[in-house]
Structure 1
Amino acid sequence: MQRTENAYKRLLAGLSGLSILIVFGVVFAGSVSRYLFSSPLQWSEEIAKYAMIYGCMFGVAYAYLQGTQITFSIVVDTIPARIRRKLAIIVDAATLVLGGILAYAGYVFAAKRGGIVASGIGIQMYWAQIAITVGGVCLVIAAILRLASCLAKNSTGGEA
């Protein structure tokens, strides 16, 4: 299970990094085009915006899987370890459900409004809006991996 989790972490990190690379490259190209040639790239802002959205979706799942997401640790740290392990399972289960809701909501949103055409690049907004569904699915997979890891540690008596 650890090998699968590590591979998924690498995939999410790579996709997040690729998104940031695209943002950097497109913004740089747009700046060079605007200030050196006085001819802005009309599509550069939209591509950068969509790459940021996808990068955020991948990054959320990556941070959650690593356990580096924002938490109320001052509350969690005061709870005994036995209860903390049970709370971790509850949080992972809730994240699984909420990730599924996010994926579904993103799908409905993209299905209803995805036919709008982006003015700068001329593609349907569906490809940008489906990022919400992609993020939800990534979060569901991360929650499943964390739940499986947590349950395996609890069954072997390891620390969660």
Structure 2
Amino acid sequence: MQRAENAFSRLLAGLSGFSILVVFGVVFAGSVSRYLFSSPLQWSEEVAKYAMIYGCMFGMAFAYLQGTQITFSIFIDAVPAPVRRKLAVAVDAATLVLGGILIHAGLIFAAKRGGIMASGLGIPMYWAQIAMTVGGACLVIAALFRLIAFFTRQSSGGEAS
């Protein structure tokens, strides 16, 4: 199970990094085209925007899986360790449910507005709007990995975080 989690973590990290690379590359190309050749790339802004959206979705799941997401640690640090472990499981369960809600909301959003054509790229907006569903699915998988790890440590007698 640990190998699957590591592979998923590397996939999320790679997709996040690739998204940022696309953003920087497209913005750079657009700037060069606009200011050196006085001919802006019509599609560059949309590609950068969509790459940013996907990068946020992959990065959100990656940060959560690594435990580096933003937390209210002042509250968490104030409670005893056994309560902290219960809070961690509750957060993971809530993240699982919220990821499922994000999947559902993303599907509805893409179904209702996905047929609109992106003006700069000429592709359906579906490909940008489905990012919510992709992010929700990544979050669900990450939450499952965290929950499985927690209960595996509990059943084997290991210390749960």
TM range, normalised to the smaller chain?
over 0.9
CA 1:15/1:46 → structure 2, altered by over 3 Å: closer, same or farther? same
Aligned residue number for residue 26 of structure 1 = 26
Report SS of the residue matched to 1:133.
helix
SS at match of 1:89: helix
User: Equivalents in 2 of 1:2, 1:91: separation in Å?
Assistant: 21
Q: CA–CA distance in 1 between the matches of 2:106 and 2:156?
A: 38
Partner in structure 2 of residue 68 of structure 1: 68
TM-score if structure 2 supplies the norm length?
Answer: 0.97
The letter of the residue matching 2:129 is: Q
Name the structure 1 match of 2:44. Answer: 44
TM-score, length-normalised on structure 1? Answer: 0.98
The one-letter code of the counterpart of 1:158 is G
Tell me the distance in 2 between the aligned counterparts of 1:72 and 1:151: 23
Q: Give ranges in structure 2 of 5+ residues lacking alignment.
A: none
Q: Which amino acid aligns with 1:25?
A: G
The equivalences for 1:8-157 within 5 A come to: 8-157=8-157
Query: What amino acid is the match of 1:38?
Result: S
Determine the C-alpha separation between the residues in 1 that align with 2:89 and 2:17. 29
Q: Report the Cα offset of residue 86 of structure 1.
A: 1.4
What's 1:3 paired with? 3
2:89 maps to a residue whose letter is I
* Root mean square deviation of aligned Cα: 0.7
Q: Which moved more, 1:121-130 or 1:148-157?
A: 148-157
- How many angstroms does 1:157 deviate by? 2.5
How many correspondences in the alignment? 160
* Cα displacement (A) at 1:113: 0.3
- State the identity %: 77
Which whole-Å CA distance do the structure 1 matches of 2:85 and 2:93 have between them? 13
SS at match of 1:70: coil
Q: How far did residue 87 of structure 1 move?
A: 1.3
Question: Which amino acid is the alignment partner of residue 122 of structure 1?
Answer: G
Letter paired with 2:60: V
Q: 1:131 to 1:101 in 2, by over 3 A?
A: same
| Offset, 1:83 | 1.5
Question: What stretches of structure 1 of length at least 5 have no aligned partner?
Answer: none
